[in-house]
Structure formats: C-alpha cells, structure tokens
Amino acid sequence: MRAFCILFFWLGIGLHSFSQTELPAVAEQHIEQMAENSNDVVLNDDSYNQHLYELRRHPININTANPETFNELMILSPLQVESLIEYRQLFGNFISLYELQSIAYWDVYTIKKILPFITITTQLNIKEVFKERVQKGDHVLLIKTSRGIEKSRGYLIDSSSLSNHYLGSPWAISVRYKYQYKNLLQYGFLCDKDPGELIFTKHQQAGFDFYSAHIFIRKLGLIKSLALGDYVVNLGQGLIQWQSLAFKKSSDLLSSKRQSPILKPYQSFGEQNFHRGVGVTVGNKKWEATVFGSYRNIDANMVSDTMNVDGMYVSSFQNTGLHRTLAELADKHVQQQISFGGNASFSKNNGHVGFNFMHYDWKLALIKNSIPSNLFLLTGRSLSNFSIDYHYTYKNVHFFGETAVSSNKSIATVNGLLMSVANCADIHLFYRKISRSYQSLQTNAFTENSTPVNETGFFSALSVRPVYGWVFEAYSDFFTFPWVKYNVNGGSIGSEYLLKITYKPSKQLEIYTSYKTSVKIENSQGDNSINLLPLNTVTHKAMRTQFEYKPTKSTILRSRVEMVWYDNMTNRPEEGYLLYIDWIWKALKKPIGANVRMLFFETESYNSRLYAYENDVLFSSSIPVIYGKGIKYYFNLHVALSKKLTCWVKWAQTSYFNQKIIGSGLDLINNNRKSECKMQVLYHF
C-alpha cells in the first residue's frame, strides 16, 4: 500500500520559545525532500529528534566534545568541526561562546543553528562522571495514542464472511521509557501497537505487537561505546550499512556526507531497521575497532515450495512493520536473521581511513521472480559486504568517500568533496558509481535510487551568502541507470536542478523562494496489458515561496504557496497547487502553546502531488502526500501541567471536494472527510 503519511520526528525544548513544536526551515525541507524521494517507504525513526531534545536539555560541552559528537548533530560541516577542534588545540578551552565567531568557516548562520545545543562547562573527573551516570540522569516516560475517526473498510468488514480485514482497533498506542545521563549512559524500553493491530488477545499474547529494549554506555575507559539490546550500525558513507537517519538531495551542503558514530542506541517505534544483540567499540585517539553481532526474527513474505529443500522460501523482506491482517501476521518474524560485522579505523591529524565488514545469514533462502528488474537483486541465504572509507582535509577542502564490494564481487564507490571557496561561498561535489549488480541491505548512501544499486551520477551544489540576510543555494544532479529498474523498462538517464533564494533581514522575517526541475525516464502510462511499455520523458517542476514573520515574541505567522507542473509526454500536462497559513503561538510566561494550520490544495492527480511538513506532537511530524482537491486544517495544543508532566493534543481533518470516497483497499473510507486525533503525555522523573 502506498504510504499515505510519513511519520517522523523532531524538535525539542530549550532556549527558543517555539522550540517544542517548531522546526527550523532547513530541517523541514530535508524531511519534505526525503518524503518526495521515499515514495512508498514509511519512515518512523524519531531518534534524531530525541537526540536534539536531549541536547537542548543537556548541551554539548564544546571544551570536551570530540568530533563524533559534533558530527552527530548533522548541523556542522566537516570543515567546521575540524576548524573548531584546531582552534581548541591552538588557543585552549573556550571561555565564551562569543569566541565561536573567531573560528574559520563559522558564520553567523552556523552559530545561530548550533547555539541551542552547545555550552561551556568545566570537565568532571571520571569518578564523578561515573557516579553521576547512574544517579543524576533523567527518567522519561512517554505515552502516545492516536486514531483515525472515520473507520476504513478494513475495520467494517464482517470478519465471519471475509478473512482479509483489520483484526485490531483503529487506535495506535505507543509507550516508551528511557533513562539518560547526557550521552554517557542510557537504557530504556518501548512497546508499540499500530492502528489495526491486536493487543493482548489470543493472536497477540505478548501484549503489544512490538517491543524493544536497549542499554547503551559511552566513554568507559578504552571502551568508547557498548550497546546491549537494540542498536543501530552506521558504517562509512552508507554503502554497506546505514540504519540511522541520513538526508538525501537538498541545497544544504551537508546532505551528502554521512556522519555518525558507528554504534548508536535504537529507541524508535520502527520495527525493522536495527540490530538486536551486542556491539562494542574500543579505541584510543588514533585507533578504533568495532565489532557487533545480532540475532533477530524479521518479517518476510514466505512461499511454500516443495522443490526447495526447506519446503519454503522467502520472496521478499517486509519493511512496513504492520501486522493488521491474518496475511500480515503470517509474515511476522518468519525469517531468522543472523548478522555481524565490524570496523577498524585509523585517524591522524585531518585524515581517517576505515575498513568495514558486514555479513547477513538467513535461515530461508531469498528467491526472486525471474524478471529483468530482479536479475541482479539480492538472492540466496547470505550477503557479505566489505568496504574502505576515508576522509581527509587539506586546507579548505574536505575529501571523503567509500568504496565497497558485495559478495557477488560487484563494486560501488562514492566520493565527494566539500570546499569553502570564500568566506561567503561553499561548493560541494559528489560522484557515485554503483554497479547494477551491487547488493546491500539496510543501507542509505547519497544516491538518487532509494538503495545504492545500478546508478552513476554527479551532484554539485553551491551556497553563496553575498551580503547579510541573503543566501543563494543551487544544486544540479545528473544520473544514469544502466539497467532496468522499478517502473522503467530500460536503461535511463535523468537530471535535477534546484535554485533557492533566502532573504532573512532580521530575526523576525524570513522569505525564501525555490524552483526545482527534474527530468527522468519512466514507463509510459497507458495500456497495462502491454508487457513492455515504451519509455517516456517525465518532467517535474516545482516552485515554492514561503514567508515567515514573528510579529510578537509569542507569535509566528507562516505561509507557503507552491505550484507543481508535471508532464509525462503521454497525457495532458498536469498542475498542482498548495497554499497554507500557519499561526503558531507560545505563551511567554505560561507553559502553554498552540499552532493552527489551514491548507488549500488542488492537484489533477497523484502525479502532481505535493508534500508539506506538518507540526505534530513532540518527537513526531507528518509529511502527508497531498493530492486531489480540498481543504485541510489541524491544531496542536500543548500544556505543561507541572514541571514534570506535559501533554499534547492534535486534531487534523481533511475534506475532499468532488470525492465521495478516500483511499483504496482496506484503507478505503466511505466519506469525503478524514480526521485524526492524537494525544501524548511526557513525564520526567
């Protein structure tokens, strides 16, 4: 089923009065861009949001933090991180945050972005730190529930007459407990039930549909990090393993370089993209080694086959994490997966080189249908990948890249550079060449395709700040796909361009306009009975203008207008239009805040769809796919009932004109309205 909504994350509390519900414009655009790229993929990783939330409560001490800590923020470029470390080595500890202005490659925009997450304190000794780890951390309990008001067909079907229906209630329930002391120690567990899933019944005797638990310790002498339970692994530039959040194309120059510690705790409600077992990183200033192992039962589409030695095989892995129907429950945890891997790296001065290894073993063989687009895809019972990654900074240029090989001896390589060419200008170049037969799992490299396979491309981006208040950003990307891929029955080429101009003359006002155009090749839309559809050039153009104004300290007004033009050379060209107005309010002296959106949209079909980031309850955001014709509104309210207890409520409703039903299949709603309510409680103790 096409994902109607991409749930996400973000935000925190802290210095900024709107911080609990507001997201920086750049971050919103990243997420919107990810939604556009992901299409059918549902993302529900809120770990980055949680990370920023924690950093706002316990900011990074810039006198002691290492480069990895800064990289994890995904706000600073590698050049900026290295110049900060160099500055600290040269002049000693920072005395004031005002000193940040003196660091090379740091400008006022960067400082504004990072200020909420950093501080200057004196360092505690190891014993004090260890004692504080277990005693002075925060316990946080989060309970979240939501449901769609209008019941879809899946809930209304008579279960005695038809087996394909949703077994559970339309309520979604999530509970998460976490103890955290800065980034040094954390442990917690979570449980989750999606809409339509069962809870505490005979089909779901475990109670909730999904459980996760973790213990994660950092900086324990030689042990840099120790993960027990659920954790994620990020290696190199994402060619052989990357389970954390990573951005795709955007005007932000940081988007292409993958930056993260290798091991991170897993603390999100997503049910697929993590490992379960043990991982440890040891090392000193120059050397570092990581090993990890995992055993999990994962969802897969199992097929009976008497010709197979096991009597069955797996045709695909299931990544939705949804277990609402008998068919979905039948796929639950049917595949046993053992995975292990490691990394050994050496860092000196401004350089780094790492050797990475990743291996998967499955109980049941993965077998694909014999169609051209499947010819080079992953099959069999195991997968191994090996890679070498590097980065090196020479003067004002930062080079980085990774070259990987999969067990079928196919090669993938990505290489890029970030260059600060003037005080007010940066450029970014990125080249990738990935074999059509390269195989990987749970990866997220900087590619046009959702996974690194069958692609050659060159991306270049430019950011110029000619005078205070003005930012010009642009990128171009050219790519070729030598082999057939989903919805493209042949080798194809494409290109994409973006130009964005931002004007921010003061803290109160920000206006930006962007124009993006892309040309890609797709199968022509026509007679589906034809097996080999001819290819067409598809042109997609989008123009967006957004205005944000803060008339008072407690209020933000925001408005966006966006137009989309779509032409697939077969049917009549289409247009899409979106306009929304936001009102965001936060009482200055009372712990209460609210935001309201009114959104109008009109698109001719799904092809001319649009995406708009929506504010949500803390840690969550949604990026609904907007198409059709109608109006949508929502309001969010959050109140701190005490210093420890905060509540959120959200109500959203979409009304479609000229439409009597919404959705399809089991998600079909016999109404022209779709409503959703969401409630969340956060308790600190």
Partner 1 sequence: MLQVLFVLTSMAQISSLVNYSPAINIGAYSQCQSDGYSFVNNQAALTSIECFGMAVCQEKMFNLSEINKVDAIVAIPTSLGNLGCSIGRKGFEGFSETNIGLAYARKLSNAISIGTQFNYYSFKIPSYFHSASMNIEIGTLIRFSPKLNAGIHVFNPVRMMSGKNEDNKLPYIYTVGVGYDVSNDFFICTEIVKQEDQAIDLVGGIQYQFDKRFFFKLGFMSENSSLFSSLGVVYKSIRLEALFRYHPQLGYSPGLLLSNHFKHK
Q: How far is the CB of 348 from partner 1 (least distance, A)?
A: 24
Q: Please say which residue, 479 or 619, places its beta carbon nearer to partner 1.
A: 479
Q: How far is the CB of 352 from partner 1 (least distance, A)?
A: 22
What SS3 state is found at 370? coil
Q: Is 145 exposed, middle or buried (0-12, 13-18, 19+ CB in 10 A)?
A: middle
**52/18 Cα distance (integer angstroms):** 14
- Please pick, from the candidates 27, 462, 488, 610, the single residue that binds partner 1 as defined by CB under 8 A: 462
Asked if 480 is part of the footprint of partner 1 (rule: CB under 8 A), the reply reads yes
Asked if 495 is part of the footprint of partner 1 (rule: CB under 8 A), the reply reads yes
- Please pick, from the candidates 118, 142, 419, 626, the single residue that binds partner 1 as defined by CB under 8 A: 419
Token pair of 196, please? 């339509």
Asked if 109 is part of the footprint of partner 1 (rule: CB under 8 A), the reply reads no
Asked if 423 is part of the footprint of partner 1 (rule: CB under 8 A), the reply reads yes
Q: Which residues, including other chains, have CB under 8 Å from residue 412's CB and lie 6 or more apart?
A: 239, 403, 404, 405, 406, 432, 433, 434, 435, 438, 440, 445, 452, 453
Per-position b or e across 496-510, b if 16+ CB within 10 A of its CB? bebbbebebeeeeeb
Name the strand (E) or helix (H) holding 472.
strand 470-481
Asked if 583 is part of the footprint of partner 1 (rule: CB under 8 A), the reply reads no
**330/486 Cα distance (integer angstroms):** 26
Please compute Rg for the chain using Cα positions.
25
**631/658 Cα distance (integer angstroms):** 12
What SS3 state is found at 72? helix
Region of 85-93, 425-433, 436-444, 592-600 interacting with partner 1 (CB under 8 A):
425-433
**14/114 Cα distance (integer angstroms):** 12
**371/381 Cα distance (integer angstroms):** 20
- Please pick, from the candidates 97, 397, 581, 637, the single residue that binds partner 1 as defined by CB under 8 A: 397
Q: How far is the CB of 435 from partner 1 (least distance, A)?
A: 18
Hunting for tokens 């290696």 — which residue is that?
235
Asked if 598 is part of the footprint of partner 1 (rule: CB under 8 A), the reply reads no
Asked if 476 is part of the footprint of partner 1 (rule: CB under 8 A), the reply reads yes
Asked if 422 is part of the footprint of partner 1 (rule: CB under 8 A), the reply reads yes
- Please pick, from the candidates 171, 179, 478, 565, the single residue that binds partner 1 as defined by CB under 8 A: 478
Q: How far is the CB of 106 from partner 1 (least distance, A)?
A: 18
- Please pick, from the candidates 493, 543, 581, 668, the single residue that binds partner 1 as defined by CB under 8 A: 493
Asked if 429 is part of the footprint of partner 1 (rule: CB under 8 A), the reply reads yes
Beta bridge partners of 231: 265, 275
Q: Please say which residue, 497 or 577, places its beta carbon nearer to partner 1.
A: 497
- Please pick, from the candidates 220, 344, 474, 511, the single residue that binds partner 1 as defined by CB under 8 A: 474
Give helix then strand counts, H and E, for the chain: 8, 32
| Number of neighbours of residue 91 by Cβ within 10 angstroms | 12
**180/141 Cα distance (integer angstroms):** 11
Asked if 466 is part of the footprint of partner 1 (rule: CB under 8 A), the reply reads yes
Measured CA to CA in angstroms, residue 52 lies from 78, 321, 401, 619, 674 at distances of: 19, 25, 27, 10, 32
Asked if 421 is part of the footprint of partner 1 (rule: CB under 8 A), the reply reads yes
**108/101 Cα distance (integer angstroms):** 7
Q: Please say which residue, 70 or 105, places its beta carbon nearer to partner 1.
A: 105
Q: Please say which residue, 129 or 429, places its beta carbon nearer to partner 1.
A: 429
Asked if 458 is part of the footprint of partner 1 (rule: CB under 8 A), the reply reads yes
Q: Please say which residue, 429 or 561, places its beta carbon nearer to partner 1.
A: 429
Secondary-structure percent of the chain, ordered helix, strand, coil, rounded to 5: 15, 50, 40
Region of 60-68, 421-429, 526-534, 627-635 interacting with partner 1 (CB under 8 A):
421-429
Asked if 424 is part of the footprint of partner 1 (rule: CB under 8 A), the reply reads yes
Q: How far is the CB of 495 from partner 1 (least distance, A)?
A: 4
Region of 46-54, 262-270, 346-354, 490-498 interacting with partner 1 (CB under 8 A):
490-498
Q: How far is the CB of 469 from partner 1 (least distance, A)?
A: 16
Asked if 497 is part of the footprint of partner 1 (rule: CB under 8 A), the reply reads yes
Give how far the C-alpha of residue 144 lies from the chain's centroid of Cα atoms, to the nearest Å. 20
Q: Please say which residue, 170 or 401, places its beta carbon nearer to partner 1.
A: 401
| Number of neighbours of residue 422 by Cβ within 10 angstroms | 11
Region of 176-184, 402-410, 455-463, 571-579 interacting with partner 1 (CB under 8 A):
455-463
Asked if 464 is part of the footprint of partner 1 (rule: CB under 8 A), the reply reads yes
Region of 261-269, 328-336, 462-470, 670-678 interacting with partner 1 (CB under 8 A):
462-470
Answer yes or no: are the C-beta atoms of 630 and 654 closer than 8 Å.
yes
Q: Please say which residue, 315 or 476, places its beta carbon nearer to partner 1.
A: 476
Count of residues interacting with partner 1 (CB under 8 A): 23
Asked if 460 is part of the footprint of partner 1 (rule: CB under 8 A), the reply reads yes
Q: How far is the CB of 132 from partner 1 (least distance, A)?
A: 48
Answer yes or no: are the C-beta atoms of 391 and 420 closer than 8 Å.
no
Structure letter (DSSP) for residue 408 = T
Q: Please say which residue, 148 or 494, places its beta carbon nearer to partner 1.
A: 494
- Please pick, from the candidates 278, 353, 519, 645, the single residue that binds partner 1 as defined by CB under 8 A: 519
Measured CA to CA in angstroms, residue 150 lies from 54, 277, 324 at distances of: 36, 41, 17
Asked if 535 is part of the footprint of partner 1 (rule: CB under 8 A), the reply reads no
Name the residues that contact partner 1, by CB under 8 A: 397, 419, 421-425, 427, 429, 458, 460, 462, 464, 466, 474, 476, 478, 480, 493-495, 497, 519
